Amino acid sequence: MKKWIRTICPLTMMLLLAGFGTTSRVEVKVPQRLIVLKPTPVLYPKDSIEQPKINVTPPFLGSSYVGFKEALAFKESRGNYFIINTFGYLGKYQFGIGTLQLMGVYNASKFLNDPRLQEKVFITNIARNKWILRRDIHWFVGKKIAGMEITESGILAAAHLAGPGNVKKFLRTNGKVDLKDAYGTSMSDYMRKFSGYDVSSVMPLRNPKV
């Protein structure tokens, strides 16, 4: 019986293979409308310049110091450490060369390529501005100027935009001196936008350096 099976199985396989070999191929014709004659457009990737502008908001990090600095960084540069704007301001927080020198940083290229240094410069500058504006923070926080309540974080944000000296002028003239940057953003815009953050963890320092 086993010999019979061993003889039949190979013969059966040979017949099947021979049948496949002699079967005629069926030609499938693709309709003309389905033939690809040129590259087709795709949705992604696209050149970023061609993309429509959309409003993007930063991640919500609460009202802590971290929330304050990240919200400010998003407004300044979308949080990009390696960007230079059209007026030469550098990095995530858009510092000018003069401010960097006050912080003890004299190598702009090194600053731009060192995120840790940028973070150190930011908190050092906040501490410096807090020292310069310490009396104004004491006098004006909680009061209303131009219909808005003055807060410590709003004052410090405005100082980042226009310098502490100009913030003093704004507060002491009851909002009459409201300087704008080259893009049209005013100190009062920053005071309003960045009000209510808790920046008490940053201590005021006189002439701090990185």
The residue ranges of every structural domain in the chain are 62-193
What pLDDT is stored for residue 116 in this prediction?
Answer: 97
Backbone angles phi, psi at 183, to 5 degrees: -95, 0
55's tokens: 């409003």
Q: Is the pTM of this model over 0.75?
A: no
Query: What are the DSSP calls for 20-89, one per residue?
Result: HHHSPPPPPPPPGGGS--SPPP-SSS--GGGSPP----PPP-TTSHHHHHHHHHHHHHTT-TT-B-TT--
The mean pLDDT of the chain is 83
Note the pLDDT tens digit of each residue in 113-138.
999 999 999 999 999 999 999 999 99
